[in-house]
Structure 1
Amino acid sequence: MKNAAIICEYNPLHKGHVYHINHTREYTNCHGIVCLMSGNFMQRGIPALMDKWKRAEIAIKSGADLVIELPSIFSVSSAEFFAKGAIDILDSMGVVDYVSFGSESGDIALIEKLAIILSEEPMEYKESLKTYLNRGIPFAKARAESLKDYISLKDSSLASSSKLTSLLQSSNNILALEYCKALYKNNSKIKPITLTRMGDNYNETTLTSNFASATAIRNALRSKDIYSIKDYVPESTFQELIKLNGNNYKFIFEDSMFPYLKYKLMLNRDLHKLPDVSEGLDNRIYSAISNSKSIQELILKSKTKRYTYTRINRILCQYFLGFEEYDIKSLRKSEPSYVRILAFNHRGREIIKDIKNTSSMEIVNKMPKKISDMLELDIKTTKAYSILNANIDPSEDFLKSPKYV
């Protein structure tokens, strides 16, 4: 029996996500869909609208068979480490045959071709990248320009095409490249497939097309207009949101970390311990924090040519979560040793049994006696989320069991 995996956040799960799940099942003719989902904090450095348990349950009700948690060390990291951690887990499980992801390009052959170049890093590419970085150009843009320079030496028609330019600039394409890079470096048997992303751009702030962005849906919920999103999310998501809203569940938004983050930044001077902080960024943030009244204002005041808005947002989130207390570089390079189950159905139960037979990874249904640094950071992340969301117990990782749906 073949299984397909989807690496996701579902913040919240909307109709585009359901389409992706259904398309993946139909296209691969797979037995089960495994969703590897970020926990309570997202890759862009923002807290989840709803806690991981509720989002996992909604995912099962919307077509997934098994939802497992992507460890925080990867879920709140750059696209490269986000993808590497996810692919390492899927590889180590030994039960996944396909990984399915959305992309603006939809051209898996081109994505894989570029991923191989990025993995092998030919000398001409490396020299070009170094030149751009020395000019103070952000890494993502420097890498895109270096790729175009290298491809122009090999295939001038492709280098000048708008298709290539678009592929190197769009967020889902960049993640797709990183997934394929990780698969190539692992010599993985998992086959990548991509679905052309439809509907609104991921950062579209208003509800427009049938496939509205998660950002637009969160904005509607922020304004407490919960019924305005009814046509943009599946029934499972809408009913859960209605129920939570009626029970005074606190939906969490991007700026909720700021008061706690401001206190920590004003009290301590250890931001430099984070590996992504260099070139005086910590001093810029310290200088800006006293007079900043929101996380958005702090980021804009700290932003430089090399440090993008999203990168600073992610750094601040890592600091809020306590990443500076761990050897982050080593943790990012290490392979996860456990699979944390959040929710499953009858097919998911079969997949869990298969994992036990094909993998040496520890299946975590409840907290083990011996807790690794990676798992300890996940626990700490839940405690941090409980500060923002009064509905969450700080010890919830010890109290909750996977949800059978």
Structure 2
Amino acid sequence: MDICGLIVEYNPFHNGHLYHIQKCKEITKCRNTIVVMSGNFTQRGTPSIVDKWTKTKMALEEGVDLVLELPAVYSLSSAEFFASGAVSLLNSLGVVDGICFGSELGSIDILKQIASTLIDEPLEYKETLKKHLSSGLNYPSSRNKALKNYLIHNSSLKEDVLDGILSQSNNILGIEYCKSLLKLNSSLQPVTIKREGSSYNDLNLNHKFSSASAIRNHFNSGKSLYDLDEVIPKKVFNLILKLKEENYSFPVDEHMFEFIKYKLLTNERSIENIPDALEGLNNKILKEIQCSNTLNELILKIKSKRYTYTRISRILTQLFIGFDLFPTKDMRKSPCSYARVLGFNSEGQKILKLLKDTCSIPVYTKLPKDNIPSLQLDIQCTKAYSLINKNISPNSDYLISPIIYK
């Protein structure tokens, strides 16, 4: 491979991310890397602990050549839309040979087999899926049960192996990446590396490869940042220390709560325009917001067998940002329509020159005058983010140029 794409969040950048970049270059023999990165909000429905330009600096410091922003309409969606938006963006560039992602499994063949089953949707699978959905299970759980049932009877995969694969978040995202490549009939080759260290949701700093969740949890606890020295690359660690010394506002989920509560209490209809909040979930949210005093309390009151914590968190964050003002249900089903540059190094600059001849979508290094809904939503995200991070201006998208790393 000459150029490999990575789909990331870097919330924040840690040793596992550096390992990902290094192993990608080792396995694929690629010359350059292009990162598609979520912006100021992440797929879990949380604000990024540092802004998207700071995350871009971190990525460039650690060897990435070009950073593109994954529009928020995808980055704040389920794994399916997150993956489809990112893969369609990389596919449209015309210079990328493959994508490399981490997974708990570390085997691309099995992930591709599962993805192919989900694309083909055999009758046995569809009937089992319908049965589980009718029982009241949420879609992810129903899909996993139906998929497991089908593969046990129609492949060499065993139940315990499938249980492990389908319950782990990076495997799930990997399957969605493979699905998206199949849907696009893309020539990009998927490559996976085995994820090392702590699990995705582990909240304890207990390993060189501690999870991003554990690092964010440590940030929010008020404990010494020096405890992070061994789990974050040195350059990134020094950048974080500098931000701390400058009283940078590291935002947390709870900072959004009062804004969300105000919006729901003063405009009850707004929740009806959030696609994932239908089927009565909107009414449950409106009921519980009145007697909730924190975001976590609200989410726990709404959470059920059908509605996961992450889904509810995404819905509330979408409401905070203003997704209700955009036709996001249709927007997220369409391929990414532009590539917005957040930063690059000298190699990335060479890639940008190539894109003039190869890319099938516009490439923006500054905001265009065109009224593009998904780009307007990204601008809206920055405005909302500025409410919980005083270091970011509401107009930062207009004021901050792409980061040039030399």
TM-score, structure 1 normalization: 0.98
What corresponds to 2:373 in structure 1? Answer: 373
Q: Count the aligned residue pairs.
A: 403
**Deviation of 1:240 (Å):** 0.8
**Deviation of 1:165 (Å):** 1.3
**Deviation of 1:354 (Å):** 1.3
**Deviation of 1:51 (Å):** 0.2
**Deviation of 1:216 (Å):** 1.1
What corresponds to 2:399 in structure 1? Answer: 399
- 1:300 aligned partner, one-letter code: L
| Preserved CA contact (<8 Å) 2:94 2:360 | no
**Deviation of 1:360 (Å):** 2.9
What corresponds to 1:72 in structure 2? Answer: 72
CA distance in structure 2 between the aligned counterparts of 1:192 and 1:158, rounded to whole angstroms: 21
Secondary structure of the structure 2 residue equivalent to 1:149: helix
Match for residue 215 of structure 1 among 213, 218, 232: 213
State the superposition RMSD in angstroms: 1.1
Secondary structure of the structure 2 residue equivalent to 1:242: helix
What corresponds to 1:247 in structure 2? Answer: 246
**Deviation of 1:255 (Å):** 1.6
What corresponds to 1:141 in structure 2? Answer: 141
Q: Does 1:261 align with 2:260?
A: yes
What corresponds to 1:24 in structure 2? Answer: 24
CA distance in structure 1 between the aligned counterparts of 2:227 and 2:258, rounded to whole angstroms: 30
Secondary structure of the structure 1 residue equivalent to 2:387: helix
**Deviation of 1:262 (Å):** 1.0
Secondary structure of the structure 2 residue equivalent to 1:83: helix
**Deviation of 1:251 (Å):** 0.5
- 2:174 aligned partner, one-letter code: A
CA distance in structure 1 between the aligned counterparts of 2:147 and 2:335, rounded to whole angstroms: 28
| Preserved CA contact (<8 Å) 2:344 2:402 | yes
CA distance in structure 2 between the aligned counterparts of 1:321 and 1:148, rounded to whole angstroms: 37
Alignment of 1:181-192 (within 5 A): 181-192=179-190
What corresponds to 1:350 in structure 2? Answer: 350
CA distance in structure 2 between the aligned counterparts of 1:118 and 1:298, rounded to whole angstroms: 34
What corresponds to 1:54 in structure 2? Answer: 54
What corresponds to 1:127 in structure 2? Answer: 127
CA distance in structure 1 between the aligned counterparts of 2:333 and 2:148, rounded to whole angstroms: 28
Worse-superposed segment, 273-282 or 199-208: 273-282
**Deviation of 1:304 (Å):** 2.0
| Preserved CA contact (<8 Å) 2:6 2:33 | yes
| Preserved CA contact (<8 Å) 2:84 2:335 | no
CA distance in structure 1 between the aligned counterparts of 2:25 and 2:174, rounded to whole angstroms: 19
| Preserved CA contact (<8 Å) 1:105 1:163 | no
- 1:186 aligned partner, one-letter code: L
What corresponds to 2:287 in structure 1? Answer: 287
**Deviation of 1:241 (Å):** 0.6
Secondary structure of the structure 2 residue equivalent to 1:333: coil
- 1:359 aligned partner, one-letter code: C
| 1:174-227 deviation digits (Å, cap 9, x = unpaired) | 000000000011111100000111100111111001101111111222233111
CA distance in structure 2 between the aligned counterparts of 1:263 and 1:159, rounded to whole angstroms: 50
Worse-superposed segment, 190-199 or 330-339: 330-339
- 2:19 aligned partner, one-letter code: Y
Worse-superposed segment, 212-221 or 53-62: 212-221
CA distance in structure 2 between the aligned counterparts of 1:373 and 1:121, rounded to whole angstroms: 32
Which 5+ residue runs of structure 1 have no aligned equivalent?
none
What corresponds to 1:8 in structure 2? Answer: 8
CA distance in structure 1 between the aligned counterparts of 2:261 and 2:60, rounded to whole angstroms: 37
CA distance in structure 1 between the aligned counterparts of 2:112 and 2:6, rounded to whole angstroms: 18
CA distance in structure 2 between the aligned counterparts of 1:152 and 1:251, rounded to whole angstroms: 46
User: Which consecutive aligned stretches of 4+ in structure 1 deviate over 6 angstroms post-superposition?
Assistant: none
The percent identity for this pair of structures is: 46
